[in-house]
Structure 1
Amino acid sequence: MVYTRPASVPYPTVWKRFTVRKGGVTSLLRIQDLTEDMHEPALKLMAKYFTRDEPPCKYIGIQNHPVALSELEKLWRNTIKDNLSLVCIKDTDDESPVIVGVNVLTVVCKEDKDVPFQTEDKVWAKLFGAVDLVSRSVNIFERYGVDKYLTAYGLVVEPQWRGCGIGKEILEARIPLCKSLGVKVTATVFTAGASQAVAKKAGFIDLFEITYEELAKKGFIFPGVEKDTKSSKLMALSIE
């Protein structure tokens, strides 16, 4: 089945508010559902910075491969239609919100038809194929005894806002979201050492880890990626 956000969960909902201090200035931020009016700027932020900074994307040079880039953007665009993704914005009354971060989210159900990943584009095959391999390394349904879980296809924080703990806040915002949805687990493949460290601070635990050297032996080669990150991890957070 294709998961549908329950009508009983108000949309949009603000899931978290917090403050950060940067450059001597304190800013109030909020994390809420990504609404349609923010789809394009949020996708633009993902396309600009996730593709530049996420290790596999960075070292395979996805920005130089239009087909793979188009496939990634299509994945994001289709996923945000689920109305489950989160956006972090400055908490003001301005009509044009300042987007600070984005997390593209969806719910995977046990009854979903399992369609093996296939593509004719070699770059996209390496990028998504590597994530697919790691995500399938552990059966989340069996491990946690659930019929659905929340997962992600990318998280990004606008560069000038990095270093303020915003990534951790966005990950923690999954907790009230999951509770409202009746989802007891969130599991994600974290491909960067930095995001893995943030996930750990947010309470995620390691379920599976594979080094990029091992991935290369399986055909998923990202030249130079070890300069940034040694491994890719499947990590999960159980929602109490």
Structure 2
Amino acid sequence: MPYKRIWDASCPQIYDEWESDGAKWVIQDLLPEDDKVALNMMMEQLLPDSVMSQLSGVTEEEESRRNMEIYYAHHLSKRMSLACYHIKDGKKTLAAVNCCFVKFADEQEVIPGLSDGAAWRNVQGTLGIFNSKLNAFEYLETDKLLYAVGLVVRRDYRGASLGARMLAAREPLCKLHGIPSTSTLFSGIAAQKCATRAGFTEILSLTLRELADAGLKYPRDDDRCMKLMVKKFN
């Protein structure tokens, strides 16, 4: 049974907060009333920047784009996503979101409403190849972990190192829920560097050429790679 957090009087929890330039920043649970704002940020600002989605052609194919919207909304509804809020002069603005959810080793979840689409198949095929080459659950010696399917910082808030702080905030979130580790497939170089700064370790790297050789839609002359990265919490 997929894990869905009960949103009760103890929510939202705060995982990090600081002040700078006359404003307060808070990293906490994403508020339910901000799900639509978060989803819009992911669709309009994350998808165009994501190496995997961009090269797969998600933004150019309406069916696959719709699948991504359903996929993101489904996982946001599980109430395990992190949000960074910028608070100044009484105004609270969603500055960043990391769409996270709890994943179990033996879980085979079916998400209602998903359809076919070449770009969507390419994204799912990429995830499948990584999973076939290395089982993160076995590597981390756990039956559950915190997985994430997108971290986006609003364009007008970039440059404030929010990405690394959001990734670091996974630790108190996981400890609160008894989750021993986290895993994410990072497709972009900037995201990979950010994850390294936040203490993540690379456990599997595949070049775009290798993914193309496996039958997926990626350029063979691009030397970039995608990296499966993890972090364990004591």
TM-score by length of 1: 0.87
Partner of 2:15: 15
How many Å separate the matches in 2 of 1:238 and 1:223?
33
TM-score by length of 2: 0.89
Asked if structure 2 preserves the Cα contact closer than 8 Å seen for 1:88 and 1:101, the reply is yes
- Alpha-carbon RMSD across the aligned residues, in angstroms, is 2.4
How many Å separate the matches in 1 of 2:56 and 2:107?
31
Indicate which of 32, 46, 68 corresponds to 1:36: 32
Amino acid at match of 2:18: F
Aligned residue for 1:49, secondary structure, equals: helix
Moved more, 149-158 or 8-17: 8-17
Instruction: Write out per-residue CA displacement over residues 177-220 of structure 1, whole angstroms, 9 at most, x where no aligned residue.
Output: 00000001000000001100000000000110000111011122
Partner of 2:201: 205
Partner of 1:72: 68
Instruction: Write out per-residue CA displacement over residues 111-144 of structure 1, whole angstroms, 9 at most, x where no aligned residue.
Output: 32377xx963111101232133224432222222
Residue segments in structure 1 that go unaligned for 5+ positions in a row: none
Partner of 2:42: 46
Query: Could you say if the C-alpha distance between residues 142 and 136 of structure 1 is closer, same or farther in structure 2, counting changes exceeding 3 Å?
Result: same
Query: Could you say if the C-alpha distance between residues 6 and 37 of structure 1 is closer, same or farther in structure 2, counting changes exceeding 3 Å?
Result: closer
Amino acid at match of 1:14: I
How many Å separate the matches in 2 of 1:7 and 1:61?
36
Residue segments in structure 2 that go unaligned for 5+ positions in a row: none
Partner of 1:143: 139
Instruction: Give the superposition deviation at 1:84.
Output: 0.2
Query: Could you say if the C-alpha distance between residues 205 and 8 of structure 1 is closer, same or farther in structure 2, counting changes exceeding 3 Å?
Result: farther
Partner of 1:2: 2
Asked if structure 2 preserves the Cα contact closer than 8 Å seen for 1:86 and 1:105, the reply is yes
Of all paired residues, the percent bearing the same amino acid is: 28
How many pairs are equivalent?
231
Amino acid at match of 1:5: R
Indicate which of 176, 190, 195 corresponds to 2:191: 195
Query: Could you say if the C-alpha distance between residues 7 and 119 of structure 1 is closer, same or farther in structure 2, counting changes exceeding 3 Å?
Result: closer
Indicate which of 145, 155, 162 corresponds to 2:151: 155
Indicate which of 116, 121, 124 corresponds to 1:120: 116
How many Å separate the matches in 2 of 1:93 and 1:87?
19
Query: Could you say if the C-alpha distance between residues 119 and 223 of structure 1 is closer, same or farther in structure 2, counting changes exceeding 3 Å?
Result: farther
Amino acid at match of 1:32: Q
* Runs of 4+ deviating beyond 6 Å: 6-9
Amino acid at match of 2:153: V
Aligned residue for 1:52, secondary structure, equals: coil
Indicate which of 221, 231, 234 corresponds to 1:237: 231
Moved more, 133-142 or 49-58: 133-142
